[in-house]
Amino acid sequence: MISVPHIFICYRRDDTAGHTGRLRDALSAEFGSDEIFRDLDTISPGDDFVEAMSHGVASCSVFLAIVGRQWLTAVDRDGRRRLDDPADHVRRELAEALERGVRVIPVLVQGAPMPRAADLPDLLKTFAARNAIELDDEGWQSDVNRLAEAIRRDVHLSRAARRGIADKPLLSWRIALGLLGAGALIIAVVLGRGRLRESSQAGASTPGGASTIASSPREPSAGSGGATRATLPAGGEA
């Protein structure tokens, strides 16, 4: 079974690449590197970037939105705010995650404030209501531990669900094999009883039809002259 990352990290490279890499290493130590989706580590050269990111969002159980100081105000070459561009990958990924209803956690770094709904595009306004966690350089480890604890339950539930789906075909085959085995055993018992019954009936009669049961010796009747007498020892009296 191919491992599917449960934790998706969404970030801007020119804003929070350093903090994201550090967080990715910490979460990999906690959950395993296969559980973390970050574009630099997960998407291979030559893969369709948009398709890979969309698949990652669609299959994750926890979505981490890394918010730095430039997350809200970053602009493109034309000076337009990136979050207002329908093709912006951060906007698209976050919108998909919110629509799916997975756990979306804003992760604030660099002392960035939580974005307000009024500052977000309409399809991202619900993001402002999500409870955020702040990662501070001084308390980094304790902050990461809090974050790991917050997402652990979702990851474990998702793992269990996927194991259950993967085990269903194997379980179905085991049930089918069990039923086949039980059916074969029943047939063997029925055939065995039939053969035993035929053998018993054949042994009950001779080829000529005469009974093979030996006749019991007839006992002499009480008034018969053939009654036996006790024999006295020599020299004895009756």
Comparing 224 with 13, the larger pLDDT belongs to: 13
| CB 98, CB 124: distance < 8 Å | yes
And the tokens for 67? 């918010």
Judge whether residue 203 has pLDDT over 60.
no
DSSP, res 211:
B
Domain total in the chain: 1
Strand locations in the chain, DSSP E? 7-10, 36-37, 62-67, 103-108, 133-134
Range 132-158 average pLDDT: 89
Domain that holds residue 115: 7-168
Domain CATH for 111 = 3.40.50.10140
Residue 1 lies in a domain: no
Range 191-207 average pLDDT: 60
Judge whether residue 170 has pLDDT over 50.
no
Residue 193 lies in a domain: no
Judge whether residue 12 has pLDDT over 50.
yes
Range 31-57 average pLDDT: 88
Confidence of residue 189 (pLDDT cuts 50, 70, 90): low
Residue 233 lies in a domain: no
Using the CB atoms, write b or e for 40-77: b if 16+ within 10 Å: eebbeeeeeeeeebebbbebbbbbbbbbbeebbebeee
Residue 59 lies in a domain: yes
Nearest to 127 by CA among 91, 154, 152: 91
| CB 90, CB 83: distance < 8 Å | yes
Residue 191 lies in a domain: no
Judge whether residue 49 has pLDDT over 90.
no
Residue 122 lies in a domain: yes
Per-residue pLDDT, 225: 46
The 3-state DSSP class for residue 218 equals coil
And the tokens for 223? 């008034």
Range 150-162 average pLDDT: 70
What is the DSSP code string of 76-87?
-TTS-BGGG-TT
pLDDT in tens, 82-126: 999 999 999 999 999 999 999 999 999 999 999 999 999 999 999
Residue 228 lies in a domain: no
Residue 184 lies in a domain: no
